[in-house]
Chains A and B, each alone.
Chain A
Amino acid sequence: MDSRKDLLFALAMVCLGVAVILITYNFREPVIQDTIGPRAFPYGLGLLFAVGGAFVAIQRLKSMHAGNGYIVPDEGGEDEEAYPASGVRAMAMIGLCCVYTLVLQPIGFIVATPFFVALALFLMNERKPMLLITTSLCFTAGTYVLIHLLLDGRLPEGVLKGLLP
């Protein structure tokens, strides 16, 4: 784990905490009052993020040094040791999921899905054209048959509206 990213994440938690406290401060007064009211929990959470984030950030700053390229032992889920890991690939996959979600309704499930699956496999270093084409088409057709035809679900038709069974 890169200790600088861990530090940034902790600082983001501090910012989140401050934002939560500020937003909570601007809540309207409730009509029905009780002992602690609707602000107590959000204030508590804001404080937890701010203090906890600051604590982790200080801990990280104290132990940070350039040796080993700022890499410290993982506190979370570790990658498989024998293989290189790429955060960029994970980000690209998240981006691809966002694009798929954006276009799902306008262009429809049948058109969007093969591109999504093929591109996702491409991101995972699959380069064989036959594998990309067959897998993406099989996924799309299989899911459409299962959800739309067998389970009577509704998948977005998009540009193919009125043309599909």
Chain B
Amino acid sequence: MDIMDFLSPLIGGIQVLDNFTIWGFILLGTIIGVIVGALPGVGATMTYGMLLPFTFTLPADVAIALLLSISVGNAFGNSIPAILMGIPGSPSAILTVIDGYSLHKKGESGLALAVAWFAAMAGQAISIILFVLMVVPLMAMAYNFGDPEKFALFLLGIVAIASLTGDNVVKGLMAGGVGFMIGIVGLDPNSPLPRFTFGFSILRTGFDIAPVMIGLLALGELFRSTRQVFKWEARIDTKHAAKFPPLYKLKDTIWPILSGTFIGTFISAIPGAGATPAAMIAYQQAQLFAKRPEEFGKGSIEGLAANEAAQNASNSGEAAPALALGLPTSGSMVLLLAALTIHGFIPGPNMIRQTPELFYAAIGGMLAATLILTLTGWHLGLAMLRFVNINRSIVVVLSIFTVLVGVYCLSYRVFDVWVVIGCGVIGYYLSRYGYAVAAAALAVVLGRQLERSLRLGLNLTDGDWIGMLSRPFTALFVCVTITFLSIGIYRTMKFRKKMRDAKMLTEATAAD
């Protein structure tokens, strides 16, 4: 690999932006991302779910640029309610509440918003370079992948998400199994044998991925949102005006931004990790090296900057394994791959090696969205103050309606609407009872390929399991899978011990 291997994707990314159409969609995506980010509870995954059906009429490169620009806008937008209302726009913005909202209550809203904006833009811009530095070697590594390696890689992705999301690894694995079950319906990948079709011809080709994904990840969450009725505006405190602070006040945020960007990019690239742990680790790390660690939790701009930079950097980090290996690490990346599947691409290690324009479109989309937010982010952020005042019930109902109509418009079949509702119900129950929905969604996308790779891999080694699993990369992925599973089991046991201790304490208090 030489320097041009790394520079050419950046040049390709810039070249993608040579027409107004793609700029228009990126601008639209960025604005939508900021708006939905500013609405508590409406995250990037749900937005992807709602807009996915409408991206199928677009060329694949425009669709990918649009979707990633939504993520970029969203990661900045979710800080706005966190700082001004004390409500995180998404789980990854939880730590923004601690320091951002503290600054807001002290009358430093302008400083908090400016730090969030500066850190988000710098983190996003630097992480695009790290994204290229990660993807190029991953692509080179994936060049040698055969079916055994693909099987181990897909298994790693599903087990990692099942083990690390949620508090119960057994439930996580069962959720992955549910996804497999949905994916398995249809003809057997190696022979024309129908499985679980129950005689319905419409099921012989299996379920379309898009309605299943949208149902599990977006509609399930929307059904969950209907459990509660409240108004966002009741909790807004707008007594402090937001003015941009003098630039010297941002000086202390440079190192936390750099460390947050590195941590955010690399941690979020780990399957099952995502933006939330990345932001939390970045925050803790920033506290260790902070000039004023005592301010953390009470309105620290260093903590806020590290956390914001990590959140935005996680967009690039999550996209790296999704595009380079076909291994999504978050719900939104699962939907991104689903979108590409509908465009005729097969997620997997060779996807962007064969179609580098997807890689360039991802870089171009994130670059352009960063530029747009750099130029307009501050004013856009202030404008979003109006959006957080809109009626939550209308947003929820509009979102459900958009999902139903959008899915119908995919292929004008009412059957798809039934599928999305069915999967929405499954997603709702999985999410309610702690079964990792993201693992189920990922298993739908990768399940059939995992089975096919295993069976072809075994054919390759004449049915010799040891021969198949002892190939270098396969063995490496299996070892990492076992490690993730062990971490999941440990976390589950720790959670149960915590619950037992809490129960004993409650009983002891009651006895007293």
Contacts and interface: CB of A to CB of B under 8 A. Distances in A.
Given A35-B455, A101-B421, A20 B174 contact: no
A154 B411 CA distance: 10
A1, A90, A100, A113: residue with the most chain B Cβ atoms closer than 10 Å = A90
B397 A121 contact: yes
Interface string A27-55: 11011101110100110010011001101
A13 B129 CA distance: 45
A110 to B, nearest CB: 12
A85 interface: yes
Interface residues of A, number: 72
B221, B226, B455: residue with the most chain A Cβ atoms closer than 10 Å = B226
Interface stretch (B163-171, B244-252, B314-322, B331-339): B163-171
B117 interface: no
A3 B226 CA distance: 21
Interface in B169-208: 170-171, 173-174, 177, 180-181, 184, 188, 190-193, 195-196
Q: How would you classify the secondary structure of chain B's contact residues: helix, strand, loop or mixed?
A: helix
B188 A121 contact: no
Contacts of B417: 101, 104
B184 A45 contact: yes
A5 B496 CA distance: 18
Contacts of A74: 434
Given A34-B455, A63-B503, A75-B168, A48 B174 contact: yes
A117 B397 CA distance: 7
A159 to B, nearest CB: 16
Contacts of A116: 401
A25 interface: no
A56 B171 contact: yes
Contacts, number: 179
A52 B180 CA distance: 15
Given A75-B166, A75-B434, A87 B458 contact: no
Interface stretch (B119-127, B227-235, B273-281): B227-235
A69 B424 CA distance: 28
A53 B510 CA distance: 32
Contacts of B432: 1, 76-77
Interface in A109-165: 109, 113, 116-117, 120-121, 123-126, 135, 139, 143, 147, 151, 153-155
A38 B157 CA distance: 23
Given A35-B455, A49-B174, A123-B226, A5 B433 contact: yes
Given A6-B433, A38-B195, A120 B428 contact: no
B156 to A, nearest CB: 17
A27 to B, nearest CB: 7
A76 B434 contact: yes
Given A41-B451, A80-B230, A126-B393, A94 B425 contact: yes
Contacts of B141: none
Contacts of B190: 30, 32, 34, 38
A73 B394 CA distance: 30
Interface string A64-107: 00011000111111011011111101100110011011001100
Interface residues of B, number: 70
B184 A1 contact: no
B433 to A, nearest CB: 5
A89 B434 contact: no
B470 interface: no
A12 B351 CA distance: 38
Contacts of A67: 506-507, 510
A86 B228 CA distance: 6
A62 to B, nearest CB: 10
A101 B415 CA distance: 9
Given A85-B228, A104-B414, A94 B223 contact: yes
Nearest to B503: A63
A111 to B, nearest CB: 14
Contacts of B25: none
Contacts of B375: none
Nearest to A31: B191
B435 interface: yes
Given A38-B193, A73-B499, 19 more contacts: A1-B433, A6-B434, A23-B196, A31-B191, A36-B455, A42-B196, A48-B174, A52-B173, A55-B170, A75-B171, A79-B227, A83-B229, A89-B227, A116-B401, A123-B226, A124-B226, A139-B401, A154-B412, A155-B408
6 contacts: A6-B433, A42-B184, A52-B177, A55-B170, A97-B424, A121-B397
Interface of A: 1, 5-6, 9, 13, 20, 23-24, 27-28, 30-32, 34-36, 38, 41-42, 45, 48-49, 52-53, 55-56, 59, 63, 67-68, 72-77, 79-80, 82-87, 89-90, 93-94, 97-98, 100-101, 104-105, 109, 113, 116-117, 120-121, 123-126, 135, 139, 143, 147, 151, 153-155
